[in-house]
Structure 1
Amino acid sequence: MSTTVDDSFTRHFQAEVHESYQRMGSKLRNTVRTKNEIKGSSTTFQKVGKGTASTKARHGKVPVMNIDHEPIEVVLQDYYAGDWVDALDEVKINHDERAVTANAGAYALGRKTDDLLIEACDGNGAVVEAGDGGDGLTKAKVLEAFELLGASDVPDDGQRYAIVGWKQWSDLLNIAEFADADYVGDDNLPWKGTQAKRWLGALWMPHSGLVLSAGVRKCYWYHKTALGHAVGHEVKTDITWHGDRAAHFVNNMMSQGAGVIDATGIIRMPCLES
């Protein structure tokens, strides 16, 4: 159990406890290919190549496209997030400490899901970059990424997503075509509601978990089919009483994995962040 739980006792603080600000679960899970209820230690996603249409002679055989099928293996890993809740501490506080601890663990596992997807992108050397890390997220860099996706025949079917850091989100707010009602209309302004909006055929959203290396934030623009997320066991919370400790142990666990299925559907946008 946290040794600082006594800081929240009612003699020092208000009855209602506000959890620390943190990202509430996974933001990226619904933006990628997902396979649930995997049996075993790994699963395979199929990467399907491009087909080519051809003519045929009258009464001749229909030509076969011979589409390439490349299996992409994603290995599952087990993750846990637990903490102790002392019984006598619960007497001294007015909130449900077990529920608070359970939620905190579930949110931690949700962030781990995003970390797995981001690490898969970051560790894949085949991902093409738009621009370099010498400047921030400029309009020119965005348009270069847009061109690269189009040149690779990445479908523009409403399933493109772009994740950027909060500094890069601020950069976008300085681009008139992204944030000005004269360009996007009043309904699509990024200033109101959830911090996510559609632009250039993609859903753009800020994310605090993107890799920052040597002052350069690695942002990504990708198609849903380019990334795979495998789930062997959904997030589960278990609370058990331990009499020898006079405390409950709140355990959160999951088994998941992630991998790049098709690197041509992902564009990395390195952005200077100072």
Structure 2
Amino acid sequence: MSTSIDLSFVKQFEREVHEAYQRQGSLLRATVRSKNNVKGASTTFQKVGKGVASTKARHGKITPMNVDHTPIECTLQDFFAGDYIDKLDEAKVNHDERMVIANAGAWGLGRKTDELLITAADASTTFVGDFTGAITRVLLVGAVEALDDNDVPDDGNRWGLLTPRQWSHALTVSEFASADFVGDDLPFMQRNRTRSWLGVNWMRHTGLPGKSTTTGTCFAYHKNALGHASGMDVTSDITWQGDRAAHFVNNMMSQGACLIDAEGVVEIRVNDTLAIPGS
């Protein structure tokens, strides 16, 4: 028995893990401000304040805006997702065990990426709702209004996250669900996860705080309000463990997330246990 796995197998496995991570792992990484190839244990995102215009006397000096720059530190953490593939078990199964482990590891790390970002978003203090009801037109409009009130850019980079139950409630709101209001992409026939409404790209997500409880939290946010940093993207390592007669397949990454601008994140507080009207 060789003490190492074939090199081509390793390269193929690493490619499959990376593809699985991009395909069904993290849903949120592309929706936030991101830094890759970070060197060190942390990195810094700059939060830039608002400029203020002023007048001046003829031939007088212009008053500098003195735009505020606030450094926001994002600390990286190391995460691992590994499992054993018993050599003799491979001969007893009729499925591709390599692909099973690749997907499990990549999706697990993807969920961790989203968990970091959702935890960062949950630090915001701006909210609508009071945990007593489900998603309504008033709550959806209120979340967008809160972003508008904080001068958050309406530039196509606003995102909204709803639990599966709240997504179902949203589909009972005619203005959200009907093609008469939002175009010809019929909601009950959609295969993708997102739906653009009031300038926000709304998405279903199963990892939100309080899902299926009376204190559910959904979010509306701008891409630049949350930061994601990666020191090492998803990487795989496969080694032969002779004392276990198995290959140990390990997937790992070094990543972090932070709240850059609390005014760019709005919590939508709902009761996620309420039944869908008419159900």
| Alignment match, 2:7 | none
| Alignment match, 2:203 | 205
Structure 1: 4+ residue segments shifted above 6 A = none
TM-score (norm 1): 0.88
Q: Which amino acid aligns with 2:46?
A: Q
Quick one: percent identity of the two aligned structures? 56
Q: Which amino acid aligns with 1:263?
A: A
Answer whether contact 1:190 1:197 (CA < 8 A) is retained. no
| Alignment match, 1:6 | none
Q: How far apart in 2 are the matches of 1:203 and 1:250?
A: 36
Answer whether contact 1:121 1:127 (CA < 8 A) is retained. no
Shift of 1:181: 1.7
Answer whether contact 1:190 1:196 (CA < 8 A) is retained. no
| Alignment match, 1:131 | 129
Q: How far apart in 2 are the matches of 1:51 and 1:193?
A: 43
Structure 2 unmatched runs, 5+: 1-22, 274-279
Q: How far apart in 2 are the matches of 1:183 and 1:175?
A: 11
Answer whether contact 1:188 1:197 (CA < 8 A) is retained. no
Shift of 1:63: 2.1
1:198-226: CA deviation from partner (whole Å, max 9, x where unpaired): 00001000000001175221100000010
Shift of 1:190: 5.5
Answer whether contact 1:49 1:69 (CA < 8 A) is retained. yes
| Alignment match, 2:262 | 263
Structure 1 unmatched runs, 5+: 1-22
Q: Secondary structure at the match of 1:100?
A: helix
| Alignment match, 1:13 | none
| Alignment match, 2:218 | 219
Equivalent residue in structure 1 for 2:194, among 189, 196, 220: 196
Equivalent residue in structure 2 for 1:170, among 143, 168, 171: 168
| Alignment match, 1:28 | 28
| Alignment match, 1:152 | 150
Q: How far apart in 2 are the matches of 1:161 and 1:75?
A: 24
Answer whether contact 2:214 2:272 (CA < 8 A) is retained. yes
Shift of 1:115: 0.2
Shift of 1:55: 2.0
Q: How far apart in 1 are the matches of 2:94 and 2:187?
A: 41
Q: Secondary structure at the match of 2:189?
A: coil
Answer whether contact 2:158 2:222 (CA < 8 A) is retained. yes
| Alignment match, 2:48 | 48
| Alignment match, 2:63 | 63
| Alignment match, 1:105 | 105
Q: How far apart in 1 are the matches of 2:188 and 2:114?
A: 23
Answer whether contact 1:36 1:231 (CA < 8 A) is retained. yes
1:121-147: CA deviation from partner (whole Å, max 9, x where unpaired): 22x1x4211121100011111111111
Q: Which amino acid aligns with 2:148?
A: G
Answer whether contact 2:76 2:229 (CA < 8 A) is retained. yes
| Alignment match, 1:18 | none
Q: Secondary structure at the match of 1:161?
A: strand
Q: How far apart in 1 are the matches of 2:39 and 2:136?
A: 44
Answer whether contact 1:188 1:198 (CA < 8 A) is retained. no
TM-score (norm 2): 0.86
Answer whether contact 2:178 2:186 (CA < 8 A) is retained. no
Q: How far apart in 1 are the matches of 2:185 and 2:178?
A: 11
